Amino acid sequence: MRTVIIMFMLITACPLISATEQIHDILIIGKDTIKLKSFPLEKLGFQIRPFDYYDFPASNCWRGYQATWKVIDDKLFLVEVVKIDEPDQKLDLISYFKANDYEPVVLDGFVFADWFSLDLTSYPKNCRHWGCSFFKTYKPKRDRPSISFENGVMVRNRYKLSPK
């Protein structure tokens, strides 16, 4: 009986336990800046990581970097990648892609995300603290803004942009 009670307590406590929320990537679309839950650069599965770490970078950013993305003419571009613990240290994007045997399509120094075919999801607009990760499960999926890309080209935009 004691085992049953302990199991019941663990099962009911599980929704209250959550992992550390990861530092978001940033998407600039029009005049808006959106915090992303998706990490488009990780979809490439590169063997060489953007920055060297001798230890685990941080519990709130297992990637060790934050990427900034921008939509230009309905296409997704990687603008910059910064080291999470040294924001002044930026990645040389073209060299990084070439070191991973990937020939990037570059426009004005930005890398076209031609590998990316997926929905980008963002944090709720009123998300300012860790509690958003707990409550996000209870928010209806249709209310979450999303933007869809196929081979880096935007095919759907359900995100309401700020007026120009």
Domain boundary assignment for the chain: 22-157
d(CA 101, CA 43): 15
Extended strands (E) in the chain: 25-29, 32-36, 65-72, 75-83, 86-90, 106-107, 110-112, 118-121, 146-150, 153-157
Cross-strand pairs, 111:
78, 106
Q: What's residue 113's pLDDT?
A: 95
Q: What's residue 134's pLDDT?
A: 38
Residues of the chain whose pLDDT is less than 70?
A: 4, 8-20, 53-60, 121-145, 159-164
Q: What's residue 10's pLDDT?
A: 61
Q: What's residue 68's pLDDT?
A: 95
Q: What's residue 30's pLDDT?
A: 86
